[in-house]
Structure 1
Amino acid sequence: MDSSSKSKIDQACRTAEEFTKLYYESIDKRRHLMSKLYLDTGLLVWNGNGVAGNERIQKFFMELPPTDHTVITLDAQVIPESAVSGQLTFLIQVSGTVKYQDKLPKNFQQNFMITAQGDKWKIVTDCIRLQEPLGANEKS
């Protein structure tokens, strides 16, 4: 591996740690600022339900009950520049638990694609899924 690739991987890992800390602190404590984390054309897919555009994403987050997230695993990888027209872009994968109001915590899996925009990182796509056992919603 050349030093440029190693440097980008190190940057992806550092960025993932900093970005996810900001993201989960924002959703849990400063939800009114969530739209600032997304591109204007950002896409959120929440348990299979899509919301496009940072204003609509902001409205979606404001309607959720209060949350408390705990990150358990975190991984990041560099998206090859050839796939994103030379734009510095990372894929971040997170798993953890989320507690909604006074309910029991649920496991979640989340994937972000973030891209550099000026000196800020912005979410291009965000896909979160609560981890429910298969058949949990089926009636017996």
Structure 2
Amino acid sequence: MADTIFGSGAGHWVCPNDRQLALRAKLQTGWSVHTFQTEKQRKTQALSPQEHEVILEVIRKAEKLDIIEQQRIGRLVERLENMRKNAMGNGLSQCLLCGELLGLLGSTSVFCQDCKKKVCTKCGIETIGSQKRPLWLCKICSEQRE
């Protein structure tokens, strides 16, 4: 800290006097010795038209991918709504989706972990749960998770 005493020796920071500050103001170099250098750097670092075009192309591509993703999500939602509308059973004695009878005389049933309804093994999807155990979901709940 002793090195930075004002006005002591070469190589140390010296507070500019009023005359120097007035000269810097006339030359528009700012109050710092480094101000003009950074201004020159900023001007030389301006983006070229090719760089602008590359940046705009990346933005266009991202917008295009966003539109495609929105369309995909729209199709998934539409498909889910159609499955809900076309459900034929009650989920207790009949398969929730296809309406097939379940039980001793009917098809084998599985219990959907999400909606707690019964579905036949054709309309159920077996997945792995968070505890690495198999669990069953109806197609509606599976689509909803997706």
- Normalising by the residue count of structure 2, what TM-score does the alignment of the two structures yield? 0.24
- Normalising by the residue count of structure 1, what TM-score does the alignment of the two structures yield? 0.25
Select the structure that is richer in strand. 1
Structure showing greater Rg: 2
Asked which structure has the greater RCO (Cα within 8 Å, sep 6+), the reply is 1
Select the structure that is richer in helix. 2
